[in-house]
Amino acid sequence: MRTTLKLAAIVALVAASASTPAAERLVPTSIGPTLQSIGPLAFGPDGTLYAGDRQAATIFALDLGAQAASPTAGTKDITNIDTTIASMLGVGAADISIADIAVHPRSRNTFIAVMRGQGPAAQPALLRVDGAGKIDLVAMDTVKFTSVAIPNPAQGQARNNAITDVAFANGRVWVAGLSNEEFASKLWSVAYPFTTADAGASVEIFHGNHNAIETRSPIMSFVPYMVGNQPHIIGGYTCTPLVKFAIDSLKTGDKVRGTTIAELGAGNRPIDMVLYKKDGQEFLLMANTSRGVMKIPTAGFASATPITDRVGGTAGVPFETVASLTGIEQLDLLDSMKAMVIAKIGASRNLQAVILP
């Protein structure tokens, strides 16, 4: 039987619009969320933390309350963050894995999702790092929360991809992952406050490096983004197509083919994506498992010629690999000038702020 861990956070439902007055928000009454796993993470603009539990195929909404901020705003760099967290949790560094990081939109403290232990006995934990470098384990009792289960999730070995990424936009929680259906790759859009998740849209792509239509490869990382004044999901896939989906096309129960706008190279998996502006231009910054961190101008997303034929190597919208950013395993925006990353340097992992390139 899988060991579970209660994560601390005080959870409040926000209305479907981020601008909804606090007096109109629903107040959850459930106490003590029990998560089987944790990660990915995403903050809403009001500070609600959305946490994906892949093993339970469930999205939890957590209002961190007083734990959202320490007396010291921001996040201080910490070397050997993995060793430090492991010591706090009573295990060796090899017995933890950092599943994701997310920066709180107001306190700028960084929250780290960690799995402690190996295999089915692994337990989830959530930690906060503040501007003084203090690390706190988010309390595990007296928490209020709401949650929604993802229908018909992937089973067996594919279960770890039941939820691959989570984002909040325009009053809805967007979830990518795999279902247990023939057309397995899914995008779900769940209105918040939660009720139930619908069947989602099955999404397929043309993969230029494979010269094939793919229906069972999940979106590994994505961002909601306006393309030509129309809301889209920009998604990154393993091996490494970059694809846009018009949100208007993502109807529940439908099969939707995205538009492949780039092939970024084989033998690679996207980890995290963030959007930022610099020198009057907007960029997508994407961390990858084996091809470094890519800086991709968004100006060409609307006019990009769809990739519909075989591609050897790279093609489509231009990008550059950021030579100064190596070993990046997790990534989130800290502010308009910096990102927080988990960077593997040698055998250790460091939490550090880096200048946006």
Distances (CA, A) of 128 to 69, 75, 193: 9, 9, 25
Largest CA distance in the chain: 56
Q: CA end-to-end span of the chain, whole Å?
A: 46
Q: 196 phi and psi, to 5 degrees?
A: -135, 155
- Please tell me the distance from the alpha carbon of residue 270 to that of residue 281, in angstroms, as a whole number: 22
The reported pLDDT for the residue numbered 15 is 28
Number of CB atoms found within 10 A of residue 214's CB: 18
- Which residues are paired to 110 by β-bridges? 103, 129
Cβ-based neighbours of 158, under 8 Å, separated by 6 or more: 178, 184
- Please tell me the distance from the alpha carbon of residue 183 to that of residue 168, in angstroms, as a whole number: 24
Number of CB atoms found within 10 A of residue 240's CB: 25
Decide if 31 is inside a domain. Answer: no
Q: Mean pLDDT in each 10-residue stretch from start to end of the chain (357 residues)?
A: 34 29 39 88 95 96 90 97 97 96 98 93 95 92 84 95 97 97 96 91 97 97 97 98 98 97 97 98 98 98 98 96 98 98 95 98
Decide if 140 is inside a domain. Answer: no
* Full domain range(s) for residue 290: 200-322
The reported pLDDT for the residue numbered 31 is 67
- Please tell me the distance from the alpha carbon of residue 102 to that of residue 110, in angstroms, as a whole number: 6
Tell me how many domains the chain contains. Answer: 1
The reported pLDDT for the residue numbered 65 is 86
Q: Are 301 and 227 in contact (CB under 8 A)?
A: yes
Decide if 157 is inside a domain. Answer: no
Token output for 42: 């995403």
- Which residues are paired to 272 by β-bridges? 287
CA angle, residues 89, 90, 96, in degrees to nearest 5:
60
Decide if 243 is inside a domain. Answer: yes
- Please tell me the distance from the alpha carbon of residue 219 to that of residue 259, in angstroms, as a whole number: 13
The reported pLDDT for the residue numbered 178 is 98
DSSP state of 133: -
Number of CB atoms found within 10 A of residue 329's CB: 18
Decide if 72 is inside a domain. Answer: no
Decide if 328 is inside a domain. Answer: no
Share of the chain residues as helix, strand and coil, in percent rounded to the nearest 5: 10, 45, 45
Q: Determine the length of the chain.
A: 357
- Please tell me the distance from the alpha carbon of residue 54 to that of residue 38, in angstroms, as a whole number: 7
The reported pLDDT for the residue numbered 30 is 63
CA 112 from chain centre, in angstroms, equals: 12
Decide if 97 is inside a domain. Answer: no
Decide if 183 is inside a domain. Answer: no
